Amino acid sequence: MVSQELLEILRCPACVRETEGLLEHYKETWLICQDCGRKYPIREDIPVMLIDEGSKWQETAKDALPVPPPDK
């Protein structure tokens, strides 16, 4: 489980310079940017905060996200 302290400081790396880049913690396995809609998976309790990874899931509906996220 990702610590609450870490969740409070994480921001979307694609948006943080122009907006707040706030993230929604979804089903303990995803972080969803409230500005751009990129979706970052959490694998083995580690958020994968790579822009390319978040972009892969950007067009996927929130309720269609696989739980747990696929390995790659």
For 17-54, the pLDDT digits (tens) are: 999 999 999 999 999 999 999 999 999 999 999 999 99
The CATH number covering residue 50 comes to 2.20.25
Q: Is residue 71 part of a domain?
A: no
Dist CA 1 CA 62 (whole Å): 20
Q: What is the pLDDT of residue 55?
A: 97
Task: With beta carbons less than 8 A apart as the criterion, state whether 58 and 38 touch.
Answer: yes
**24 in a structural domain:** yes
pLDDT of 71 higher than 90:
no
pLDDT for 29 equals: 97
Instruction: Tell me 41's DSSP state.
Output: E
Give the range of the structural domain holding residue 59, as residue numbers without chain letter. 4-64
With residues binned 3-state (H G I as helix, E B as strand, rest as coil), the percentages for the chain, rounded to 5, are: 20, 20, 60
Task: For residues 39 and 57, give the distance between their C-alpha atoms in angstroms, rounded to a whole number.
Answer: 5
